Amino acid sequence: MTMNNGAGGRRRPPTIHDVAREAGVSRGTVSRVLNGGHYVSPAAAEAVNAAIRRTGYVVNRHARSLITGRSDSVGFLLTEPQERFFEDPNFNVLLRGCTQALAAHDIPLLLMLAGTEDERRRITRYITAGHVDGVLLVSSHSGDPVATELREAGVPLVACGKPIGIGSKVSYVAADDRDGARDMVRHLLAQDRRRVGVVTGPLDTPGGVERLAGYREVLAEAGVEYDERLVVSGDYSRASGEAGAERLLAQAPDLDAVFVASDLMAQGVLTVLHRAGRRVPQDVAVGGFDDSPAATAVSPSLTTIRQPWDRISNEMVRVLLAQIGGEDPAAVILPTELVKREST
C-alpha cells in the first residue's frame, strides 16, 4: 500500500486510519490492539496486526504517551563515575542484556550516568518528571539517595544487587554473592592454601559486604583464624586491585592465595604479583569474581565465580515491567558457579 500526500505524490507515513481501513475494523479497535488488545476478538486482532505489517504503520509514541500517561521507555541508571562505565565490562554486558530483553517488548532503554551529586539531582528530576516509566538501577551505594527518592516518588524501580539501608520496598535482582564467595574460598583452601588474603569490593555496596561475609564464614568453618592483615578493600577498579595487592604483600608477605572480589581488580593483583616475582598459581593462587571478559584476558587465565548476567538482565526487565503493570515489588536471587582455570 502506497500513501501519497497531495498532488506532489510525496510518500507519507501510514496512519491509524489507514490501518483501520486496511483491516476493515474501526479506529477504536486498532487503538485497543495497540494498547494491549483488551476487549478485542482474536480474529480482529489478527486482522489489525496483518494490516500493520502490510501498511508499515509505526506507533507514534509521543501521541500514545499523551493518552496513556506513559513514556514507553525505561532508564538504565548507573550511579558511578563515567569512566567506570567504560572500564568495567560488567556494566556493558548488563546494559546489552537489558536492552535486548526490552527490545522484545519494543521498549527503548535510556542510558543515564550519575556519578556526581549534581548529576544525580538532575537525573532524579528528569525521571520523576515522567520521562521514563521505570528505572533499572545499577551500583547503588549505601547512603546514595537516588533509590530512596525514586521509591518515594512512586517510580517503578529494580536494583541490580540488594540495596543497603533503604528497607524492603525496593525490587532487586542479585547473584548469590555470599554463596559464590564461599565456593571460591573453599576451593582455595582445598588447594592446601592457608594464608588466604582478600581484596573486597566497596563495603558500602551489597556485593562488597556479602563477598567478605562469605570469605569470613568459610575461614571460620575450616578453623582458620581471621587475620585483618589479610583483608584490604577496593572499589572494583583495576587500579584498586593493584593497590590492594601491594598492601597485602606489605602486611602479609607469607600469603599463598588471594580471593579478589572482581575480575577487573584481579587483573591488577596479577600485575603486582608478577612484578614482585610471585608465580601464579605456584606461589600464590588467585581467584576472582564475575567471569567477565577480564577473566580470560590475562595470563594465567583466571579462576572465578560466574555471575549469570543474561538471567540477571532478563529478570531485572521482567520484574520492572511487572511493577510498571501494577504488581508489588519482588526480590530474585540467582545462583553463581565456580569456573576453574589456570590461576589456582
Neighbours of 91 (CB within 10 A): 21
Query: Cβ(115)–Cβ(141) under 8 Å?
Result: no
Query: Of 53-57, 68-72, 112-116, 173-177, where does the model show the most confidence?
Result: 173-177
- 198, three cell numbers: 582478600
Print burial letters for 254-285: b (CB count within 10 Å at least 16), e (below 16): ebbbbbbbbbbbbbbbbebbeeeebebbeebb
Mean pLDDT of the chain: 89
The pLDDT value given to residue 83 = 80
Q: Give the predicted TM-score (pTM) of the model.
A: 0.77
Confidence band for 7, pLDDT divided at 50, 70 and 90: very low
In the predicted structure, residue 98 carries a pLDDT above the cut 80: yes
In the predicted structure, residue 126 carries a pLDDT above the cut 60: yes
Confidence band for 32, pLDDT divided at 50, 70 and 90: confident
pLDDT above 70: percentage of residues in the chain: 90
For 283-320, how does the pLDDT look when each residue is reduced to its tens digit (9 = 90+)? 999 999 999 989 999 999 999 999 999 999 999 999 99
Confidence band for 166, pLDDT divided at 50, 70 and 90: low
The pLDDT value given to residue 67 = 46
The pLDDT value given to residue 82 = 78
Nearest by Cα to 76 from 103, 61, 94: 94
- Report the pLDDT averaged over residues 25-38: 78
For 254-274, how does the pLDDT look when each residue is reduced to its tens digit (9 = 90+)? 999 999 999 999 999 999 999
In the predicted structure, residue 61 carries a pLDDT above the cut 80: no
In the predicted structure, residue 167 carries a pLDDT above the cut 70: no
